[in-house]
Structure 1
Amino acid sequence: MLLQALGSAALVGGLALSGRAVAQESPQERDDVLDVAIIGGGLAGLTSARDLLSAGCESFVVLEARDRVGGRTYNHDLGQGVVSEAGGQWIGPGQTAIADLARQLEVETFPTYYQGKAVYLLGDARVEEDVSEGPSSNAELVGKLNALARTVPSKAPWKAADAAALDQLSVGEWLSRQGLGNLDRIGFNMSVSLTFGTTPAGMGLLHYLSMINSADCSLEKLEGVKGGAQETRFVGGSQVLSLKMAQTLGDKVKRSCPVRRIVGWDRDIVELHTDQGIIRARQVIAAINPALCHQITFDPPLPSGRAELQRRWPAHAPTRKTVHVYERPFWRDKGLNGQIIQVEGPLIWAYDNSPPDGSVGVISGFIRSGQLPHDADAAQRILSGIYAQALGDTALHPLQFHDQDWGKADPWALTCISPMPPGFWTQWGEYLTPATGRLIWSGTETADLWPGAMDGAVRSGHRAALEALQALVQQRRNA
């Protein structure tokens, strides 16, 4: 705790010092030039903006392409103050950055509901299992993965001692060498698909190990509910964090303002061409997925390494989540926790996503790509039938149904998670975080810890704000 306190004090002190230095040394002859332009109004971009403001730097703007803030967090409004999260929603032990942010914003948390038995479906077969202590798994194999993960730093997996060898393999290839039985193969196929949006064959082993490393070298912590990264939810839904930050920032957040072109990133003043005009800034924080960066035109073109990283960034895991709303969480009366795992079919995993007081029953589901119609009525009927097989016929009659396919929701998502393929990190990883001219790369994918998670987004926002303030001070000292 002492080390954490000292680290936090150093960060806050560094931001404040840099902010005061910027304010003191800021030239007044160019009122049309901002100190910082932030691209992206999700958790990362808004965290950077909040840090800039706290440090005394008020010359900035947040440019959000959507008509809302929150990025890959988004709440379905179910009425009467109840919401269900359509995107990222959970936090767990070790995710201290977002937990601290929630406390500062006075957003309360509550535990994910997991007490009772989960239901597994395979064709017409139905099996109940008590998973209150976590799902059963191959302890020997999990231990081997955890041990390997200790050698792969989440901050820079390409710097691992055996990076070249590990990055040649997919998770599927590695698993095939472990002599797994059918049940273990099915289990790992489902867990990788759920967590990373791809099959084990499409996931690089080096990336998989780096993600486990980020979760204290514990696959159980990465994928678990009790004691894991899915243990805790936010009262009011995860998007409330971004909504509260944006409210504080006021008109510094410009919505429906996508950046189309960036000119002069290698000069003292950068021009950002947006749908609402040209913004000029001394530093630019790009708090968006690298695949979205590739959709922006850069003049001059970016260096080849960074440009190729963006072009090759995997963007094929958009994720689709659905919501069934019932009068009450009736499954709890039967000793069920609402979790449904379908081995074959459109449903990967469903779970109890009801509000803290259980005033209504909510079942959310992760859907396999391409296996459920996009017609809302048809999708609802198919899933309701699956839920009825698992939970009883009451599941056939939801009060509401919501469907969020992030691949179709808007052009600013592309992918919710990034399943890095074999060979990617050792070839392109070194270009991920170093600044390019006046461009500072941010977003959850750039985080040292918990990349891909909401916590990683907040961490990347803190880092980017500090980099921007330090760069501004240096820029003006060199002027």
Structure 2
Amino acid sequence: MQDRSNSKSPLDNGLSRRQILVAAASTAAATATLGAAAQTSSPRSAVDESVLDVVVIGAGLAGLTAARDLQLAGCESFVVLEGNDRVGGRTLNHHLQNGHYSEAGGQWVGPGQTAVYDLCRELNIGMHPTYLKGKSVYAAQDGSLYEEDSGGGFSVSPNMQRVVDKLNELAADVPSGAAWTAPKAKELDALSLADFIEPYNLEAMDLLSFDVGFRLTDTIHYQEVSLLYALSRINYAGSYEQLEGFTGGAQEQRIENGSQYISEVMAQQVGDRLHLSSPVRKITDWDSDTVSVHSDSGVYRARRVILAISPALCNKVQFQPELPQARRELQQGWPGYSPGRKTCHVYERPFWRDMGYNGWFFTIGGEVMWAYDNSPEDESIGVINAFIYPSMPNDPDVLAPMLANMYARAFGDEALRYTEFHDQDWGQEPWCPACVSPLTPGFLTSGLMPALRDPIGGLVWSGTETAEIWHTYMDGAVRSGHRAALEALHGLSQSQRV
């Protein structure tokens, strides 16, 4: 069903029922615009041909999904501006030798993430299961090693299960898209996750499980994460187990050809409307009929602008006139630096599997949060990815052997014979300075959150943070792109009627 053309017919694109409905709804919203154009001998005779319908800022999953939906609705008058020299946003593939890949950013999908599953089906992109079979290895601070076969998950003690059960119970009353409206919202938002679990006196292994789980999804320690925010995410996943789990959970599958490939395929469809290395510096006249977007590749004038970038990144854009106070304060207070760092060691084969290991490795209180098997499904090469702390050495000639020596203690000396090494520090990315945006205590109930999604003038807000469910995940980004395209098209139709 893959569509790599610029066909304007939704049916020609082999769409699912959901996408046809999206396109139909978008087309209905744009009827006044398209119909008025069709009734004149010159389609743009009554309007300024230099003014675009839409400018999309950001070529990650959200921005490119929005652009694709605009095309499916029959809108061709748009451009996509991206600050980086690549597409994908917070998804990125390391391109390994012989056509292999390893994900350096967001990479997993799981049950309930229907938006990204639907998109992949429409783009003819497959998936395969995360490898889990075998034992995990833990390195204690005294140098001793501990092995465990937990079936591809984190073991949970009876006391930890009490914590999980209580989180699930509380999350049932916290709407993921409007957590600040939940019963006792201010009380829950005043607490961090650390405050919540302290009375349970969890054992060291339980604390490690809790810490690793939230660091991998939020990149910061759970003492900095709002309890209300955590509950909102548990709510959309269905349970804590589904949020943090693998089999049956949000990390169950990987994208064939790597997660960035989704954006690369959509970018092919957008074609020359996509402009890379074009960071937006200023947006003027957003409160008028025509908005001006000032980028490194030129000034673009449009009737609607979709900002498919994180709230924190919006601070890099100068707005004239100033945005309303609530939106300004939201952007200024949004966590702008929660970096993640991911490394990749490549081997001739996944040798650890022969010894009954799943490639998982942890250092308790040490440098490696979590190393895991990221090999291709056909086992043609071996890949160990690792989430490490940003404080680790930046010099690859120091870092690569340091990590390999740790793996060798767990999996044997063959771990020293890697063929490639890659290191992605998201804190060094100028246009993607944070992997995710975990919210700290007090922010959700600050009164600023409605400004996260509410359109302002000709501006439409998108990006995974704005999704009502699965925010911070790839699925949330796709959902936000669908919504932004509909809002932009609706705005165009409304302005045409005036």
Give TM class, smaller chain. over 0.9
| Alignment deviations for residues 337-357 of structure 1 (CA, whole Å, 9 cap, x no partner) | 111121121110011000110
| Structure-2 separation of matches of 1:87 and 1:12 | 30
Are 1:305 and 2:305 counterparts?
A: no
Of 349, 354, 372 in structure 2, the residue corresponding to residue 333 of structure 1 is 354
The AA in structure 2 aligned to 1:60 is: F
1:281 aligns with 2:292: no
| Alpha-carbon spacing, 1:20–1:79, altered in 2? closer, same or farther (3 Å) | farther
2:13 aligns to what? Answer: none
Secondary structure, aligned partner of 1:416: coil
1:459 aligns with 2:479: yes
Shift of 1:193: 1.7
Amino acid at match of 2:440: P
- Aligned with 1:431 (options 451, 462, 466): 451
CA contact (8 A) 2:32 2:497 kept: no
The Cα of 1:452 is off from its aligned counterpart by: 0.4
Secondary structure of residue in 1 paired with 2:251:
coil
- Determine helix, strand or coil for the equivalent of 1:430: helix
Q: Does 1:122 align with 2:143?
A: no
SS of 1:411 mapped into structure 2: coil
Q: What is the DSSP-based 3-state SS (H/G/I as helix, E as strand, rest coil) of the residue aligned with 1:265?
A: coil
Q: Distance in 1 between matches of 2:321 and 2:383?
A: 50
> Aligned to 1:177, what secondary structure does the other structure show?
helix
Q: Are 2:158 and 1:136 aligned?
A: no
2:264 corresponding residue in structure 1: 243
Of 420-429 and 12-21, deviating more is 12-21
Partner of 1:360: 381
- Kindly tell me the number of residue pairs found equivalent between the two proteins: 471
Structure 2 residue aligned with 1:155: 177
Equivalent position of 1:470 in the other structure: 490
1:320 aligns with 2:338: no
Cα contact 2:54–2:78 (8 A) shared by 1: yes
Change (3 A) 1:16 1:114: same
User: Distance in 1 between the 2:151 and 2:135 partners?
Assistant: 7
Q: What SS is found at the alignment partner of 2:450?
A: helix
**Residue in structure 2 matched with residue 260 of structure 1 by the alignment:** 281
Instruction: Give, in whole Å, the separation in 1 of the partners of 2:152 and 2:339.
Output: 30
Amino acid at match of 1:286: L
Corresponding residue number in structure 2 for 1:220: 241
Give CA-to-partner distance per residue, 1:107-146, whole Å, 9 cap, x none: 1111110111111111311111112253212222111101
* Alignment-derived partner of residue 414 in structure 1: 433
Residue among 94, 97, 101 paired with 1:76: 94
What is the root-mean-square deviation in Å for CA atoms of aligned residues? 1.3
**Retained in 1: the 8 A contact 2:134–2:152?**
no
Q: Is the Cα–Cα contact under 8 Å of residues 44 and 461 in structure 1 kept in the other structure?
A: yes
Q: Is the 8 A contact 1:116 1:335 kept in 2?
A: yes
Q: What is the rounded CA distance, in whole Å, between the counterparts of 2:419 and 2:396 in structure 1?
A: 14
Counterparts in 2 of 1:223-234, with a 5 A limit?
Answer: 223-234=244-255
Q: Distance in 1 between matches of 2:18 and 2:173?
A: 25
Percent identity reads: 51
Partner of 2:127: 109
Distance in 2 of aligned mates of 1:146 and 1:363? 32
Among 193, 214, 217, the alignment partner of 1:192 is 214
Determine which of 85, 96, 108 is the counterpart of 1:67. Answer: 85
Instruction: Tell me the TM-score normalised to structure 2 length.
Output: 0.92
Task: Tell me whether 384-393 or 463-472 shows the greater mean CA deviation.
Answer: 384-393
SS at match of 1:378: helix
Deviation at 1:9, TM superposition (A): 5.4
- Partner Cα separation in structure 2 for residue 6 and residue 326 of structure 1: 43
Q: Which one-letter code corresponds to 1:180 in the other structure? A: L
The residue identity in structure 2 corresponding to 1:35 is D
> Per-residue deviation at 1:10?
4.0
CA distance in 2, matches of 1:41, 1:56: 20
Q: Distance in 1 between matches of 2:211 and 2:109?
A: 23
The equivalent position to 2:71 in structure 1, one of 53, 61, 66, is 53
CA distance in 1, matches of 2:236, 2:207: 24
Q: Matches of residues 388-399 of structure 1 in structure 2 within 5 Å?
A: 388-399=408-419
Deviation at 1:281, TM superposition (A): 0.3
- Deviation at 1:389? 1.4
d(CA) in 2 for partners of 1:67, 1:141: 44
Provide the rounded CA distance (Å) in 1 between the counterparts of 2:477 and 2:173: 24
Letter aligned with residue 314 of structure 2: C
Whole-angstrom CA distance in 2 between matches of 1:242 and 1:106: 13
Name stretches of at least 5 consecutive residues in structure 2 with no aligned partner: 1-15, 38-43
Q: Give the match for residue 375 of structure 1.
A: 395
Amino acid at match of 1:54: L
Q: Which residue of 2 aligns with 1:350?
A: 371
CA distance in 1, matches of 2:250, 2:60: 20
In structure 1, distance between residues paired with 2:31 and 2:379: 48
Q: Deviations over 1:17-67 (max 9, x none)?
A: 224432223553300000000000000000000000000111111001111
Measured in 1, the distance between the counterparts of 2:372 and 2:201 equals 31
- Once the two structures are superposed, residues 374-427 of structure 1 have per-residue CA deviations (whole angstroms, 9 ceiling, x without a partner) of 00011101111111111111111211000000111x310110111200000111
Q: Tell whether 2:34 aligns with 1:23.
A: yes
Q: Which range moved further: 191-200 or 140-149?
A: 191-200
Conserved 8 A contact 2:132-2:152: no
Look up the SS of the partner of 1:290 in the other structure. Answer: coil
Is the Cα contact below 8 Å between 2:91 and 2:105 reproduced in 1? yes
Which runs of 5 or more structure 1 residues have no equivalent in the other structure? none
Query: Which one-letter code corresponds to 1:195 in the other structure?
Result: T
Shift of 1:333: 0.3
One-letter identity of the residue aligned with 1:129? E
Counterpart of 1:44 in structure 2 is: 62
The 8 Å contact of residues 20 and 56 in structure 1, kept in 2 or not, is answered as no
Any conservation in 2 of the 1:126–1:390 contact (CA below 8 Å)? yes
Letter in 2 for 1:23: L
3-state SS, counterpart of residue 469 of structure 1: helix
Q: TM-score, normalised by structure 1?
A: 0.96
Whether 1:387 aligns to 2:403 is no
2:11 equivalent in structure 1: none
Q: What SS is found at the alignment partner of 1:271?
A: strand
Q: Which amino acid aligns with 1:189?
A: D
Residue matched to 2:12: none
1:173-232 deviation line (CA, Å, top 9, x unaligned): 11112332333223212222222111111101110111111101x111111111111111
